[in-house]
Amino acid sequence: DAGVIQSPRHEVTEMGQEVTLRCKPISGHNSLFWYRQTMMRGLELLIYFNNNVPIDDSGMPEDRFSAKMPNASFSTLKIQPSEPRDSAVYFCASSTVGGRTEAFFGQGTRLTVV
């Protein structure tokens, strides 16, 4: 298995633009997590899905952020409109059994909003 695949690896966009981050979890994993990493706040859980259903989105910073998981092999995290303070590395991770085993992380998407 190729592991968790995220795209793009790097994204530079102007403030106000829409940004879409993509994730393909490991086949057979039924839980998917979106994290944001910054120097100041570390790794923050934004939202997670079990069996394609959003379970907890309490970490989503505001309405500008939205996430979907239309099927077991694909998820998106969208920011609209983007702001400079959204600049961070965004990680997607997947696991089995609702997160009660280790989560496997993708390489991350480094987002820069100018």
Residues near other proteins (CB under 8 A) are: 4, 33, 35, 42-43, 45, 48, 50, 55-56, 91, 93, 95, 97-108
Residue among 106 and 113 whose Cβ is closer to other proteins = 106
CA distance 56 to 96: 16
Query: Which of 14, 5, 6, 8 lies closest to 112, judged by CA?
Result: 14
Token couple for 37: 């990493």
Residue among 87 and 107 whose Cβ is closer to other proteins = 107
Residue among 15 and 97 whose Cβ is closer to other proteins = 97
CB of 84 to other proteins, least distance (A): 22
CA distance 54 to 40: 27
